[in-house]
Structures are given as structure tokens and as C-alpha cells.
Amino acid sequence: MTNRMFRAIAPALTLALGAGLAGCATNRSLESVHQPVVSRSNFTLDVATYGGALALPEQRRLAGWFDALDLRYGDRVSVDDPSGSGATREAVAALAARHGLLVSDDAPVTAGAIPPGAARVVVSRSSATVPGCPDWSSKSDTNLNNATYSNYGCAANSNLAAMVADPEHLLRGANGTGETVVMSSSKAIDSYREQKPTGEKGLKQNSTEGGK
């Protein structure tokens, strides 16, 4: 091949080589490129405080707001109170306890200033999704790059994102008590097994003779 011919076909060879390298830049591992993404949203409600406490009408309004949000496991409830009133926090904690939730110690930063004589209740909710799924961009019958299918992992990871009770566990796992669901649910079984038999100290002697 002469130099003149090589210069003529060099651009075509460059394009072909680039296309080949692009085809090689595919996922050849067993890890899916489609992974759950966790996003968090903050919902806020400013409640009026009277004398450092939450009045009954405001408690009812807050309870209705919790019901409208369908407050559930995985949500984080916090109180941003400039006055730092313990009575307001206890009132919010009592309403959150109806949904099985505790009030967090720290409140996230939210937009807007808190009105004077008010406290802000913040509900943080996380959700998990798998962007880009389903992915039918490639053919499943022909794959010369020894790569995983483009839709590989979409079903399993999408189901995981939909079923996880607390999406935050996908980021850092469960923490706090250090107990698993199995460990906590087996406490009743362990208590039953460790209970001493009622007849361990002998049976109580009772007379069958009636009194005169």
C-alpha cells in the first residue's frame, strides 16, 4: 500500500476504529449499570405557638396534615422551632407517635423564614427509582462484545427500589439499635424458652376434703 493510498483511507480507518472502541466500551461485568437512585423531599408546615405551646386547634391542623401526607415508616419528622420550646416538641412527638414515628433531633434547612411566634414541622420523605429502565437500546440475540444486555438488572433493581420500606437503607443501611427484624421478632420466642417451668419447685398440695 502506497503512502497516497494510506492517506486516502486513513479517515475511514479512524472512524472504523472509533466505532470499534465505542462498541468495546460496554458493560462486561456482572454489575448492572442501572442502579437505584434515592431522592429526598421535604414537606413543611408552619404552626402557630401560643405561650411556647401548641394550641389544640393547631394540633388538629397538624394531625390532619400528617393524615394527608399518609405519614408512614421511613419518613423523618423534625421540628424547627426558633424558641426551642419543649412543649411544642412534645405535642408534635405525640402526634407523630400515632403513626409509629419519633421526632428527629435535627431539622433540615428549608426555604423561607419562619414567621414570628411559629414553629416549622418538617417531614422528610425519600423515594428510590431506577432511571433509564427499561432499556431496550440493544439487541439481546446478538452480542459480539461479551457484554451484558442493556436491560440487565432493570427488573431486579426496580423491584428492590419499589419494595424497600425505607429507601435510606439503600444508602447506608439500617442503624441505631443494631438489631435485625429477625432478632427483634424472636424476643418473644426466647422469653418463652427461657421461662422456668411452673412445676420446677414441686406441685402445690391442696386438700380435697370439704370444710365442716
Spell out the per-residue pLDDT of the chain, length 212, in tens. 555 554 554 444 444 444 444 444 577 788 899 999 999 999 999 999 988 889 999 999 999 999 999 999 989 999 999 988 899 999 999 999 999 999 998 999 999 999 999 999 999 999 999 999 999 988 777 777 778 888 999 999 999 999 998 898 888 877 655 445 555 567 777 777 787 777 677 766 777 776 55
In the chain, which residue ranges form alpha helices assigned H by DSSP?
3-24, 56-69, 86-97, 154-163, 169-172, 181-185, 187-194
Q: What pLDDT was estimated at residue 144?
A: 74
Prediction pTM value: 0.63
pLDDT at 125: 95
Mean pLDDT of the chain: 81
Cell of 15: 472512524
**In whole angstroms, how far apart are CA 41 and each of 65, 76, 127?**
16, 10, 8
Asked if 89 and 79 touch (Cβ cutoff 8 Å), the reply is yes
